[in-house]
């Protein structure tokens, strides 16, 4: 039995004609296609009138023909999670799941979202950012020491991210990150366990803790490895988990996010939480975290998809 609030809609016809947009041309395309297959099947099982579109342009063409009433967005990364899709749909007066234009753009920008967190008392690993003509990245090494994490500033799914454990690895790590954008962020390495807080409406889902034999929770650990272990319940005392879930929702709200999403953070040995990022369109593959956490509350995959679609109301 689900422990979530009552559904807002009972009749699938009230959603009208739904356009599920997946794929696109970002580096996270394959993750989106994989999750899209699962979401499409769930929409069909729920009796929802749905068409699947690979990328925004074919979706826009269908909207222009009057074939789509609302959009279920499962595009990850640039073009779908950065506000551009949301802005276009806003101009077309077509509702879409998840965060709005401003929040989508902000959460996709690791630098500016971390600046806002710092200003509002949300702890995040200290960092340096580097533009396209800035090759002085050794200043991050001088400031933070090792290890370091090198990341593109506007991508998810851990694509382009490296953990730098030796100084001679830094140049290659920066080169990899620059393959996915001109701006690079270098964070101080924080030692701790990785936790994830799913958000659905105004409800935070049970925390998930992960363990991986890899250096960090990278793309392979997320989507390919069978050795990644997921713990939900996460093993924290109930009062500590409740406080961390509340802080995760605050971190989500401060960036203006809404609808659904996921907040990622590290918990160090002293119990201090270091917030990493907010994902406004999390993965929906068989390895994904939000479906796992929802299931602990009795929310099956089909119901989760229904509730995400309700965020477009």
Which residues carry out catalysis?
28, 157, 223, 262, 264, 277, 279, 283
**Token duo for residue 186:** 């270098």
**Token duo for residue 292:** 């796992």
Q: How far apart are CA 39 and CA 19, in angstroms?
A: 12
Q: Are strands 193-200 and 208-211 parallel, antiparallel or unpaired?
A: antiparallel
Task: Write down the H helix ranges in 73-192.
Answer: 84-92, 101-108, 110-119, 138-144, 170-178
Among 258, 277, 122, smallest CA distance to 199 is for 258
- How far CA 276 is from CA of 126, 282, 306, in Å, comes to 10, 14, 28
Among 18, 14, 13, smallest CA distance to 74 is for 18
Instruction: Provide CB contacts within 8 A for 214, sequence distance 6+.
Output: 220, 221, 225, 228
Among 121, 118, 120, 140, smallest CA distance to 129 is for 140
Instruction: Provide CB contacts within 8 A for 126, sequence distance 6+.
Output: 143, 144, 187, 188
């Amino acid at each position: 039995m689900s422990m979530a609030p009552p559904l807002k809609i009972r009749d699938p016809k009230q959603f009208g004609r739904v356009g599920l947009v997946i794929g696109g041309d970002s580096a996270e395309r394959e993750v989106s296609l994989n999750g899209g297959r699962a979401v499409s099947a769930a929409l069909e099982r729920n009796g929802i009138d749905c068409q699947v579109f690979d990328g925004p342009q074919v979706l826009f063409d269908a909207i222009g023909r009057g074939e789509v009433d609302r959009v279920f967005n499962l595009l990850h990364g640039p073009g779908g999670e950065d506000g551009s899709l949301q802005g276009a749909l806003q101009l077309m007066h077509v509702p879409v799941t998840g965060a709005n234009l401003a929040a989508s753009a902000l959460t996709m920008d690791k630098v500016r979202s971390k600046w806002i967190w710092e200003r509002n008392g949300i702890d995040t690993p200290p960092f340096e950012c580097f533009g396209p003509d800035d090759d002085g990245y050794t200043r991050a090494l001088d400031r933070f020491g090792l290890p370091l994490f090198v990341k593109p500033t506007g991508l998810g799914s851990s694509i382009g991210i490296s953990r730098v454990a030796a100084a001679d690895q830094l140049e290659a790590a920066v080169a990899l990150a620059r393959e996915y954008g001109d701006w690079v962020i270098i964070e101080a390495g924080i030692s701790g366990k990785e936790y994830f807080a799913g958000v659905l409406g105004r409800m935070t889902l049970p925390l998930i803790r992960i363990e991986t034999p890899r250096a960090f929770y990278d793309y392979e650990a997320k989507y390919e490895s069978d050795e990644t272990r997921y713990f939900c319940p996460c093993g924290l005392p109930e009062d500590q988990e409740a406080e961390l879930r509340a802080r995760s929702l605050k971190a989500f709200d401060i960036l203006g996010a809404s609808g659904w999403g996921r907040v990622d953070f590290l918990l160090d040995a002293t119990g201090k939480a270091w917030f990493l990022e907010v994902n406004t369109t999390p993965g929906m593959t068989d390895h994904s975290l939000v479906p796992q956490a929802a299931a602990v509350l009795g929310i099956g995959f089909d119901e989760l998809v229904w509730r995400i679609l309700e965020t477009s109301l």
